[in-house]
A and B are shown apart, each in its own frame.
Chain A
């Protein structure tokens, strides 16, 4: 069982503020890392698929970085808006069997 940890578990952000949170994963034998956004009453939606050390991906005000050598990825939200309120999940692909192992998520609440 692979240990994928996300921190913090939850955070509250004032509208307009920027924030970031972490996903930690086993640093040996990396294959790929996914980020998903899960809004209440909806399905998880893919944000990024990251495969290379040093990868930086961006989608609108959301971006992510990847450090495979030390085993972490950061997700950044710039200028948070209420519609950014969601649980953000990272998932590590086990290179031995290609299973997705999900972290427990970081729940972001943006206050207007």
Chain B
């Protein structure tokens, strides 16, 4: 069974630009969550999608958005990038809300 795949693995963007990150969950998993990790911080929850609907949202500004497609693949978009958006963005999929999450290897975003 293929694991969670995130693309790209690394990304360098300039302030003010926008970026789209992609996540392909494990086959059969309908829940996809996104997290941000910055140095010294734990994993900060961004949002969760289930069957194409955003089910939960963390405390991030509206510049952070996402969506989920009918095949459960998910994308995350960050507009008007700021230096502070530089982070590791992790995606995780699970069968449902109370089962273990399977994480991708993350996208390392650097904003310059």
A34 CA / B103 CA spacing, docked (Å): 13
Instruction: Determine whether the beta carbon of B56 is less than 8 Å from that of A34.
Output: no
| Residues on the B chain within 8 Å of A98, using CB | 55-56, 97-98
Q: Does A93 contact B (CB under 8 A)?
A: yes
Given contacts A44-B103, A98-B97, 8 further A-B contacts (CB under 8 A): A42-B105, A43-B3, A44-B101, A46-B100, A97-B55, A99-B48, A99-B58, A102-B45
B12-23 vs A, Cβ < 8 Å mask (1 yes, 0 no): 000000000000
CA distance A8 to B26 in the complex (A): 33
B86 to chain A, nearest CB (A): 18
Nearest CB on B from A90, distance (A): 10
The number of chain A residues with a CB under 8 A from chain B is: 24
Contact: A93 with B98, CB < 8 Å? Answer: yes
Collect the chain A residues with CB atoms within 8 Å of residue B41's CB. Answer: 104
Given the complex of chains A and B, what is the CA–CA distance between A7 and B32 in angstroms? 29
Contact A102:B42 (CB < 8 A) given known A43-B90, A44-B90, A93-B98: yes
**Complex A-B: 8 CB contacts under 8 Å:** A32-B98, A43-B3, A44-B92, A49-B98, A98-B55, A98-B97, A99-B56, A104-B41
* A24, chain B: closest CB distance, angstroms: 13
Query: Number of contacting residues on B, CB 8 A?
Result: 26
Residues of B within 8 A of A (CB): 3-4, 33, 35, 41-45, 48, 55-56, 58-59, 90, 92, 97-106
Chain A residue numbers with a CB within 8 Å of B101 are 34, 36, 44, 46, 100
Of all chain A residues, the one with the shortest Cβ separation from B45 is A99
Chain A, Cβ-Cβ closest to B103: A43
Given A1-B59, A49-B98, A98-B98: A43 and B42 within 8 A (CB)?
A: no
B97 and A93 contact, CB distance less than 8 A: yes
A42 partner residues in chain B, CB cutoff 8 A: 105
A43 B4 Cβ-Cβ under 8 A: yes
